[in-house]
Each structure stands twice: as structure tokens, then as C-alpha cells.
Chain A
Amino acid sequence: MDAVVAFAPLAGALIAGLLARYIGKAGAMAAATALMGVALAAAVSLFLGLYAGDAQAHTTIIARWIEIGGFKANWAIRVDMLSAIMMVVVTSVSFLVHVYSWGYMAEDANKSRFFAYLSFFTFAMLMLVTADDFLQMFFGWEGVGLASYLLIGFWFDRKSANSAAIKAFVVNRVGDVGFALGIVGVFALFGSIQFDAVFSQIEAVKEARLVAGPLDLPYLETIAVLLFIGAMGKSAQFFLHVWLPDAMEGPTPVSALIHAATMVTAGVFLVSRCAAIYDVAHGAATLILLVGAVTAFFAASVGLVQNDIKRVIAYSTCSQLGYMFVAAGAGAYQAAMFHLFTHAFFKALLFLGAGSVIHGMHHEQDMRRMGGLARALPVTYAMMLIGTLAITGVGIPGTHIGFAGFLSKDAILESAYARGLDLEIAQLAFWMGLLTALFTAFYSWRLIFMTFHGPKYWREAVAHGHDAPAHAAHDGAHPQATTHDDDHGDAHVPHESPIVMLAPLVLLAIGAVGAGMAFYEPFFGKEAESFWHGIFAGHGEHSVLEAAHHAPLWVKSAPFAAGVIGLVLAIVTYGFNPRGMRAMGEKGGPMQAFLAHKWYFDELYQAVFVRNAERLGDWFSKRIDRGTIDRFGPDGWALASRLTGGWVSRLQSGFVYHYAFVMLIGVVGLGVFALMSVGR
């Protein structure tokens, strides 16, 4: 059972990738989808077994991976509540995305390859979450990175997609260096990389110091920060977030699965898995809190002015991940995992909904060319509305009744508030989180208004859209874009998506409505203790959860109020004033430019890192290799000898024999010496 969860998707990937030419594309896709269904069933049964108390947390070791000198890593499936939740999230969203892709990718010539990548991604993600040691986790970690790279660049004839894919991989690798050094440090400090062995020894190494050259650092804190750097890369946190918006170059089902619901939450999972470390490493935990708050705020602010429907949701994802880190940094891992869980549903819903819009609009992603789509895409509209109600946290303050995001986001802000009672910086995080809630409501409703309400901008836009470079690129790149034109005759009428795409939306919408209410008590409420089975308990930060429950009513109502303000602002600027979107989205003061350029991170990194790496590479190549080493080395010899004796020309013609001769003399000389020495 345990192994089935992870290896059914691998089998699906192999079948879809290798056998498509024998069993046909549809056969390959069906196999991958069916095996994902198997994995989903297995994951759910594992989860329910733990939830009902029928089964205990356990680990199944499949095979040995590496074992030398105490460094031991296994291929294993670790089943506890934390991994079971992740398994359910990953397999359920992945299964729905598989189904959805039957519609979305229907016209793509390489669709079986697409399914192979999706299944491979799911396999890697499951290896990540079911790891029993840091190394298998790293295997999954880089495996999902590879899948992400392959899927972002799926349309590989598109230049921007290739650049985005490489950017994603390289930026993630920056984080991975932190992760890898963290693992290496864990082994150096604990003599093991197996989770239980590490976590059980923390008390003993609390005071250890790491001396590295001139530095003298607290060992555990250093490791905690290094691991978190890995989390920052994968979860697109501030400084390492730059790849996520560009990753939207991938097909939209990919964005929903990888860049919203699952892979990007791996960082939150890592921190939660290492809760025992972060409970002791207060400095690192505070850093997480701060980075999370800044990311939440930053990404939401950029989301305010984006015009590409997928980029709005991408920044929203970035921002929501920031929330999760705020909770984790505050010590409320339960709240972080709760938001991770609910967010998976409503964010996947929003992305797949956006995909449905894009599909209906023949691969138009610019919201300025949409508007008034509610009538043409009624189901999509309804589902997007539910997603928006969930992400903006609509519910009844003071109760546990509301959409999924209402409960989980409030849990996070209450935790931040509770942590702020004895850590001042957490108060800042709380207020930034509150402001983020306002921003979130604004950009989410702005998306709804620009896309589904107001005048229709698409007739005129699509009519002359063909010569727009973006559109031309899409036409060239997507086989289905052009086939659509052939199929429909009149390509310019937006159409509702097929049932195979809408059904996953509906299922996700159920989660977006009910997941919060259904799981509040076990994740965060009174049942939390028995639900988590001590995964987070007993590490000293228990009081945060307690204090969060006793937060004053104004704290519990504030996020909702912020959401209402955001909604009102969005109505004022966009709902009643359709022209407002031109004003806000296109022109504006320096503030607008600053946000539209995403705080100028790409420009900064290009100038500081990329350009300098290129310059340094060139300089090394020309000035050091050729200009110094060769010049004063072999070429210098040649010149010197040419000047002195001119034997180089002879050498060049007969160097082999020269060499053999030199060697022979050496050997003979050696033989003589050896004879002498033995004779002595």
C-alpha cells in the first residue's frame, strides 16, 4: 500500500513516456490517469487509516540508497499525518489535473509526453513528502525541480518558455545549494540524516558551534537557516521568488499542479518536517517569520497591477506561501499546514479556472482584452467566484463558518498575533499580513471584474490581435491555437470549456467551500493534539496555538474587514468604473511603475549576477587561461625555445619520438639506479 502511492505514478510516467508509440496517445494518457487514480485511492486510505486511528505512523524501507561511513540514506515511504496530508493533496490535485488536461491539451501533438511529465512530477513530489531522511527528500526536491523545468519549457519552440524553464531551475538550484549544505551540516552535527535520529538528538547539540574560517556560528541555527534557504527557493520566497511568475510560461494545468498546489509548498513542508529544529533555532524561526511576511506583502503588492491573468494568480500564490511561512516561523506549523491544505484546493481551482478562460479565449491571457465573459463562460465564472470567495477569506467572523481560506488565513494571522505577544517582530508580521489580506481581496476581485464583468474588450482586441507579437507567438507555439481557428470557423467567440475540464473545477470548488470548515478542528482546533500525534507537539511552542485560540475578537474579525475593504476598493476602481482598469493597469506614477516592474528584481539580478558571471567567465577564459597560463606556460616555452634554439619546429614534426626517447632514457636511467640500489 505504502509503495503504491509513490510508484503507481512512476509506472504511469514510464508507460506514457516510453510506450505511447505502441499503445497510442490515448492509451498512454489513460494509463497515466488511471494509475494516478490508484495512487489517489491509496493515499486517501492511508490518510483515513491514520485519521481514524486504525493505523499507526510507520516507515516502509524499500531499498538502501547510499551507505558509507555512517552516512546512510534509504529509499523509504514514511507514513505519518504530515506526509499523509501531503500525499492526499498531491495525488488529488494531480489526478484532477490529469483529467483536466484531457481537455486542455486535447489538440497538442505531444500530449502523451505531457502526461508522462505530469506523472513523473507526481512521483518525485511523493518521494519528497514520504522521505524518511534528508537525502531522499532532496532527491524528490530536485526531481520536482526537473519536472518543473521540463513542464515550464514544454512548448520548447518558444523562446520565452525556455528562458523561464532555465531560470526556474537555476534559481531553485541557488536554494538547493543551501539545502545541500544544510544536509551536509546535519550529518556533520548529528552523524545521521534520518529524521527521527536527528530530531531526537537536538537537545544534545543545542550549544554546538560551527567554526568556519574566521566565522564562529551557532551550529544548529546555521543549519536551520541553510535548510530554509532551500525552502525559499522552492517556495519562491523573497529574493528567490523571481522564477515563479516566469514559470507561467508552462501550460496552465502545470501552473495549477506544480506552481500553486504542490511543489511550491514543499518549502513549507520542509520547515514543518523540521519543526523540532526550528522550535529550538529561534533565530532561524524569526527569519522565516520575517521573510514570509515580506513575501506575502511584496507579492500581493505586485499582484495589484499585473494584467496577465496567470501572473496575478502566480503572485497571489507567492503571497499565500508567505502567509504559510509566517505561521511556520511563529511556531504554528498546524496553521501553516492547514493553509497549505486549503490553499491547494482554491488556488488549483483559480488556476484551472483561469486555464478555462484562456482556453475559451483561444490563448489570450491579457485581462485587458477580456471583460464581460460571465455570460459566455457561466460555469467557469461561478467556479472562479467560489475560488475568489475562498482566497479572500469570506466567512462569519467569530465563528468557524466560512470558505476554506477564511478559516486557514485567520488561523495564520491569529498565530502571528499570538506570537507577537512575546516577540515584537511578529507584531509587524501580523500587521503586514493584515495589509496583505486587503491587497489580496483587491487583486482577486480586480481579476473577476476585469475578466468577467464590464464591457467586452475581446472583440476588438482579438480582431486586431493577430499581429500583436504575443498572439503571434502563441499561434506559432500552440498547435491547438491554430487548430481551434480551423475547427470553429469563427475563432473569436469565447466558448465554455468541455465537461472534462469543468468537472475538476467543480470538485475543487467543493474543497474550496468546505475544506476549511471540515478540517478546522483536527488541523488547528481542539482535536489538533490527537490529529497530529505529536509531530509538532512537545517542542515548547505549544503555547502559540493556545494563545491563538484566545486571540481577541478584533483580531479574529480584522482579516475579514480587510477583505471587505479590498472588495470595496476593487468595486470602486473596477466594478463601477470600467475605465479605471486602463488607468490602474497602464499608466500611473512611479509607484505603479515600481510595482509593475516587480520592484525591479529581474533587472537587479540581471545586472548583478548574470552579467557579472558572464563577464567573469569571459575574463577568466581570455585573460587567465590564454592570457596568463598559456602565455607564460606552454606558449611561453615555445617562444623561448624558438628564440634560443629553434627546436620547436623539429619538435612539432617529431614530438612523439622525442617523447618516447625522453621516456626511454628515463626508464634506462631508472633501471640502472635500481640495479645499483639493489646491489648495495
Chain B
Amino acid sequence: MLSLITFSPLVAAGLILLTRRLLQWRDEAARDQSTWAVGLLASLAVFGLAIFGLSQMAPAAPGFQLVEKTAWIGGVHYHLGVDSVAMLLILLTAFLTPICLFAAQSSIKSRVTEFVVAFLALETFVIGAFAALDIVLFYVFFEGGLIPMFVIIGVWGGANRIYAAYKFFLYTLAGSVLMLIALIAMVLLAGTSDIAALMAYDFPKDLQIWLWLAFFASFAVKTPMFPVHTWLPDAHVEAPTAGSVILAGILLKLGGYGFFRFSIPMFPDASEFFQPLVFALSVIAILYASLVAFRQTDVKKLIAYSSVAHMGFVTLGLFSGNVIGMQAAIFQMLSHGVISGALFLCVGVVYDRMHTREIAFYGGLATRMPIYAVALMLFTLGNVGLPGTSGFVGEILGLTAVFPVSPLAAAAAAFGVILSAMYGLHLYRAMMLGDLVNPKLAAIADLDAREIAVFAPLAFLTLLLGVAPGLVFDFTQQAAAAAAGELAAAFAR
């Protein structure tokens, strides 16, 4: 089942390449058309499979499910399996990918085949990383996913794409090398690369500190946490819309997932030891990134910094050591995946029309684009964390989890909600309200049916999860409690 979900996109990508070779298309438009269609169908099929996989799970049962295991090389196994958290992140990936492909049709005009192939490969790697139960396999997927991402930024990106991709590369490389070393050490020590076995293994506390730091280097870059966040704004700015959506919606979650799957259960004592550090960096990220976002003149940069701020709530919740915080973090990851993805798609809409991300270029769009105005307002409010949207649930529960541990950290983080209102509403005003001054905007068109179809499911989820978050909480209860229990036990020691 999981193999099917994981590798279907890659198979589809192969199929696209193969038919391209075989059919020797003369008509490029027809070729691109069919490429889009195959990509879209494949990703929709994966989404269907993911839902089916989800329905096959018993969320209350402990441990991993839908397990597949075969010997691979040496002691390393091809070992897949998920708990409820991983399954939901897979579902999020499978949900966002077709939306991205669907939305990208209007903006990607060159090298369509390569784009779709890169995108499908990316999906396979990301799903694989969430599904891997062998740490070596995880590493392959985890790092492998970056290759198509580099390609997407480097080929279809903006003017400064080389710098952005290079920066992304340097940060990730630094983190990955350290994680790789730690990984080798762990496998040597424990004599297994099986994740479940590693979770059960008691690493000595002194060693845990070092291993934790090495993993932290990698996951902190991914999340991203202050001060290793500076690759993200550049990557977002240069990436094409669909790339930004996947980056913000999925790839950043690999960081949070890494903490959840590795750092906390494998090194609970070190996680306890470093809790003040994580709290401090998270709070700094929330306040710092919000203030920086407030002063950006580029729409995508603004949203990128706001992502950094929102991921601060994820790391706060993860390391709070109680089940509310763990649930809040998981929920916030999903919610942010939907909302930030939607916001980048919103930017894409006007970027496709006007080819600029300068906030000052826009203004008064609400008069010309009333439907767009509603959509952007909804996702802005979600980003601002208004009750009734999914953005609120993760934030208030994050605060609830942190307050008993550190009231001051909770208080400082709470100030982030003032700042998010400031930059969110200022952006909205600058782009949407006031008079339509720029004559170039006079003829701008409102959302068409295809674009509405893109936003509708995202809007629905933002509201549904805001009003009935139990859909997620009930499902992830067991897994969250298990992870939180590891940390709580470390505190009790």
C-alpha cells in the first residue's frame, strides 16, 4: 500500500519520459497538454490512494501500521510504515501536489515535461521520507527530495534563482553532513538502522546531547528556525508558485516531523536538556520574523517570513513536553501547510497576471477582483490566527501547552499575534484596498473557474479544521501522546 502511494508519482514520471521518447511528439502544445493530464491524474490517484490508506488505519492502535519490510543492502531494510502523524503528512502532500500541478499550468510554459517529472519525483521523495521506517532509507528520501526542489527553483525560478538555490544548498548541506555523521554513529552503536528499534534504544545521555545537536542542525534548517532561516525568503522569492507552495506546505514540515520522529523519541534526555534553547529560538523566530515580515516590500518575502514565525509555534509545541503541545504542533503543521500554500497560490494569481511581486505595484484590487478579495481575506485571517480558522487552533493550544512550562515564553509568543495582525492586514490593505491607482491594473481579471476550483478545497479545509479540529486530534491522539510521553518521562527523571 505505502509503496504504491510512494512510488506511483515516480512511475508516472517515468511513463511521461518514456512516452515522450516513444511518441516523438511533433505538436508541442499537445505534448504539454498530455503531460499535464498524466501528471494531474497520477497525483490525483495518489491522493485517492492516500485517503484509502488513511481509512485502513486504526489510529488508536500503538506503533506503526501498513508496514512493509524487505531486506535491502546489508543490515539496512526497505522498511515502510506510518503512524497517524506521518499518514496525515502524506495526505497533505498528496493533497497539495495535484493542486500545485493544476495551478501551475497557467504559469509554467517552458520545459513542461521536466517540470512535471521533477514535481512527481519530489512527491515520491517527500512521501517516502514520511513513510520510511529505516533511518538510512529516510535519509535517502529526505535528502533526495532536495534535488528536484533545487531543479524547480534553479530552472523555473526568478532572476536571482542561482543565488537562492545555492544558499538553500549550503544551509542544507551543512545540516545534512552533521546529521549523516550522527546517523552513522547511532547505527554503529545500536547495531540497527530500524527506526522503531532506535526509538527503543537508550542512548547514553552525554552522547544524546551530541546526536541531538547534529540532528537539530538539519531539522532546524528545514523548519526553519532562527538564525538558520535566511535561505527561506530567497528560496521562496525565486521559486515558481508551485515550488513555493510545496516548499512552505510540505518541505518545511520535514523539519517538524524530524523532531517528532527522531529528536524527541530517540534523544528524550537531550530534548529535555535543550528545551530552553528551543523555546528561546522559537520565541525569537516568532517575534523577529514577524517584525521583519512587517517591513518587506516583496509579497513572497513577507509570507516567507510569516512562515518562519508560524513554525515557531510548531517547535514550541513539540518541545513543551505535554500532549496538548504535541497535538498543537502537529495540527499547526497541517494548518500551516494549507494556509501558507493557499497564500502562495494567491500571490501566484496576481503574479501570473502582472509579473511582479512588489507590494507597492498593487492597490485597490478589491474593486476589480471581488472573489479574489474574499479568498485572500480568508487565508489572511487564517494566517492571522482568527478563531474559526485552523490557524487559531494550533496557536492557542501551543500557548496553552507552553504557559505552564514557561509563562514568559508563552507571553512573548503571544505578542506574535499582534504582529501577525499588523503585517497581515497591512499587506491586505496595500494590495486590495484603497483606490486603484496603477493604470496597469485597470484591466486585471478576477479569478476564473479553474482558479476558484484551486482555492475552494483549501478554503473549505481552513474553515473545517478551524471549527472541527477534532477530525485531526482524534486521529493523532495516540501518536502524539506517545511522543509527548517520551519527553515527559525525561522531565520526570
Contacts of B166 in A (CB 8 A): 634, 638, 651-652, 655
A residues 116-163 near B (Cβ < 8 Å) are 135, 138-139, 141-143, 146, 149, 153, 156-157, 159, 162
Contacts of A638 in B (CB 8 A): 166, 170
Contacts of B233 in A (CB 8 A): 625
- The verdict on A153 contacting B433 (CB below 8 Å), with A170-B425, A656-B150, A675-B75 known, is yes
Contacts of B295 in A (CB 8 A): 614, 617-618, 621
Centre residue among A66, A149, A655, A667 by max chain B CB count within 10 A: A66
Complex CA gap A173/B180 in Å reads: 44
Closest A-chain residue to B398, C-beta based? A184
Complex CA gap A652/B270 in Å reads: 37
Closest B-chain residue to A625, C-beta based? B230
Contacts of A169 in B (CB 8 A): 421, 425
The answer to the question of B108 belonging to the interface, with a C-beta cut-off of 8 Å to chain A, is: no
Complex CA gap A181/B146 in Å reads: 39
Q: B72-89 CB contact bits vs A (8 Å, 1 = yes)?
A: 011110000000000000
Do B408 and A66 have beta carbons less than 8 Å apart? Answer: no
The answer to the question of A645 belonging to the interface, with a C-beta cut-off of 8 Å to chain B, is: no
The answer to the question of B323 belonging to the interface, with a C-beta cut-off of 8 Å to chain A, is: yes
Q: B391-415 CB contact bits vs A (8 Å, 1 = yes)?
A: 0110011011001101110110011
Do B422 and A669 have beta carbons less than 8 Å apart? Answer: no
Partner-contacting stretch, out of A285-293, A577-585, A657-665: A657-665
Q: How many residues of A contact B (CB 8 A)?
A: 76
- The verdict on A156 contacting B433 (CB below 8 Å), with A663-B143, A670-B184, A671-B76 known, is yes
Contacts of B368 in A (CB 8 A): none
B residues 35-75 near A (Cβ < 8 Å) are 73-75
The minimal Cβ–Cβ distance linking B274 to chain A, given in whole angstroms, is 18
Partner-contacting stretch, out of B9-17, B25-33, B96-104, B186-194: B186-194
- The verdict on A184 contacting B425 (CB below 8 Å), with A618-B295, A671-B74 known, is no
Partner-contacting stretch, out of A67-75, A245-253, A514-522: A67-75
Complex CA gap A678/B386 in Å reads: 53
Among B162, B386, B403, B473, contact of A181 (Cβ-Cβ < 8 Å)? B403
Do A185 and B294 have beta carbons less than 8 Å apart? Answer: no
Do A166 and B400 have beta carbons less than 8 Å apart? Answer: no
Do B150 and A212 have beta carbons less than 8 Å apart? Answer: no
The answer to the question of A180 belonging to the interface, with a C-beta cut-off of 8 Å to chain B, is: yes
Do A660 and B396 have beta carbons less than 8 Å apart? Answer: no
The answer to the question of A604 belonging to the interface, with a C-beta cut-off of 8 Å to chain B, is: no
The answer to the question of A188 belonging to the interface, with a C-beta cut-off of 8 Å to chain B, is: yes
Q: A196-228 CB contact bits vs B (8 Å, 1 = yes)?
A: 000000000000001011000000000000000
Do A162 and B433 have beta carbons less than 8 Å apart? Answer: yes
Q: A39-75 CB contact bits vs B (8 Å, 1 = yes)?
A: 0000000000000000000000001111111010001
Contacts of A156 in B (CB 8 A): 366, 432-434
Contacts of A587 in B (CB 8 A): none
Complex CA gap A629/B289 in Å reads: 14
Do B75 and A678 have beta carbons less than 8 Å apart? Answer: yes
Contacts of A634 in B (CB 8 A): 166-167, 170-171, 230-231
Among B294, B324, B399, contact of A69 (Cβ-Cβ < 8 Å)? B324
Contacts of A181 in B (CB 8 A): 399, 403, 410-411, 414
- The verdict on A185 contacting B418 (CB below 8 Å), with A614-B294, A662-B173 known, is no
- The verdict on A669 contacting B184 (CB below 8 Å), with A66-B470, A67-B470 known, is yes
Among A64, A159, A177, A671, contact of B434 (Cβ-Cβ < 8 Å)? A159
Do A157 and B387 have beta carbons less than 8 Å apart? Answer: no
The answer to the question of B435 belonging to the interface, with a C-beta cut-off of 8 Å to chain A, is: yes
The minimal Cβ–Cβ distance linking A469 to chain B, given in whole angstroms, is 15
Complex CA gap A656/B415 in Å reads: 40
The minimal Cβ–Cβ distance linking B108 to chain A, given in whole angstroms, is 19
The answer to the question of A364 belonging to the interface, with a C-beta cut-off of 8 Å to chain B, is: no
Contacts of B477 in A (CB 8 A): 68
Complex CA gap A282/B367 in Å reads: 52
Do B386 and A146 have beta carbons less than 8 Å apart? Answer: yes
Do B230 and A673 have beta carbons less than 8 Å apart? Answer: no
The answer to the question of B456 belonging to the interface, with a C-beta cut-off of 8 Å to chain A, is: no
Complex CA gap A618/B136 in Å reads: 43
The minimal Cβ–Cβ distance linking A186 to chain B, given in whole angstroms, is 10
- The verdict on A174 contacting B400 (CB below 8 Å), with A673-B188, A674-B187, A675-B74 known, is no
The minimal Cβ–Cβ distance linking B436 to chain A, given in whole angstroms, is 8
Do A660 and B227 have beta carbons less than 8 Å apart? Answer: no
- The verdict on A659 contacting B147 (CB below 8 Å), with A142-B387, A614-B294 known, is yes
The answer to the question of A633 belonging to the interface, with a C-beta cut-off of 8 Å to chain B, is: yes
Contacts of A66 in B (CB 8 A): 393, 397, 469-470, 473
Do B296 and A621 have beta carbons less than 8 Å apart? Answer: yes
Do B184 and A68 have beta carbons less than 8 Å apart? Answer: no
The answer to the question of A470 belonging to the interface, with a C-beta cut-off of 8 Å to chain B, is: no
The answer to the question of A399 belonging to the interface, with a C-beta cut-off of 8 Å to chain B, is: no
- The verdict on A659 contacting B150 (CB below 8 Å), with A69-B322, A621-B296 known, is yes
Contacts of A213 in B (CB 8 A): 406-408
The answer to the question of B429 belonging to the interface, with a C-beta cut-off of 8 Å to chain A, is: yes
B residues 209-239 near A (Cβ < 8 Å) are 227-228, 230-231, 233
Q: Bin the interface of chain B by size.
A: 35 or more
Do A677 and B397 have beta carbons less than 8 Å apart? Answer: no
The minimal Cβ–Cβ distance linking B141 to chain A, given in whole angstroms, is 11
Do B473 and A637 have beta carbons less than 8 Å apart? Answer: no
Closest A-chain residue to B144, C-beta based? A663
Among B75, B403, B406, B418, contact of A677 (Cβ-Cβ < 8 Å)? B75
The answer to the question of A630 belonging to the interface, with a C-beta cut-off of 8 Å to chain B, is: yes
Do B139 and A675 have beta carbons less than 8 Å apart? Answer: no
Contacts of A678 in B (CB 8 A): 74-75, 191-192
Closest B-chain residue to A142, C-beta based? B387
The answer to the question of B364 belonging to the interface, with a C-beta cut-off of 8 Å to chain A, is: yes
The answer to the question of B340 belonging to the interface, with a C-beta cut-off of 8 Å to chain A, is: no
Do B367 and A157 have beta carbons less than 8 Å apart? Answer: yes
Contacts of B392 in A (CB 8 A): 142
Contacts of B470 in A (CB 8 A): 64-67
Among A135, A153, A159, contact of B396 (Cβ-Cβ < 8 Å)? A135
The answer to the question of B388 belonging to the interface, with a C-beta cut-off of 8 Å to chain A, is: yes
The answer to the question of B338 belonging to the interface, with a C-beta cut-off of 8 Å to chain A, is: no
The answer to the question of A239 belonging to the interface, with a C-beta cut-off of 8 Å to chain B, is: no
Complex CA gap A655/B162 in Å reads: 10
Contacts of A594 in B (CB 8 A): none
Do A68 and B324 have beta carbons less than 8 Å apart? Answer: yes
Do B421 and A173 have beta carbons less than 8 Å apart? Answer: yes
Do B292 and A670 have beta carbons less than 8 Å apart? Answer: no
Closest A-chain residue to B432, C-beta based? A156
Among B74, B291, B411, B429, contact of A617 (Cβ-Cβ < 8 Å)? B291
Do A180 and B396 have beta carbons less than 8 Å apart? Answer: yes
The answer to the question of B347 belonging to the interface, with a C-beta cut-off of 8 Å to chain A, is: no
Contacts of A588 in B (CB 8 A): none
Do A666 and B388 have beta carbons less than 8 Å apart? Answer: no
Do B146 and A659 have beta carbons less than 8 Å apart? Answer: yes
The answer to the question of B112 belonging to the interface, with a C-beta cut-off of 8 Å to chain A, is: no
- The verdict on A670 contacting B147 (CB below 8 Å), with A139-B387, A157-B364, A659-B173 known, is no
The answer to the question of B159 belonging to the interface, with a C-beta cut-off of 8 Å to chain A, is: no
B residues 349-376 near A (Cβ < 8 Å) are 364, 366-367
Contacts of B73 in A (CB 8 A): 671, 674-675
Contacts of A143 in B (CB 8 A): 386-388
The answer to the question of B133 belonging to the interface, with a C-beta cut-off of 8 Å to chain A, is: no
Closest B-chain residue to A178, C-beta based? B414
The answer to the question of A472 belonging to the interface, with a C-beta cut-off of 8 Å to chain B, is: no
The answer to the question of A496 belonging to the interface, with a C-beta cut-off of 8 Å to chain B, is: no
Give me 23 A-to-B residue pairs in the complex whose CB atoms sit less than 8 angstroms apart, sorted by A's number: A68-B323, A162-B434, A170-B422, A173-B421, A180-B399, A180-B417, A181-B399, A181-B411, A184-B410, A213-B407, A620-B288, A626-B230, A637-B170, A652-B166, A655-B165, A659-B146, A659-B173, A662-B176, A666-B139, A671-B74, A674-B76, A675-B75, A680-B191
Known: A66-B393, A142-B387, A626-B230. 6 other contacts (CB 8 A): A141-B387, A184-B399, A624-B288, A651-B169, A652-B162, A666-B177
A-B pairs, top 4 by smallest CB distance, nearest first, are A678-B75, A675-B74, A617-B295, A212-B407
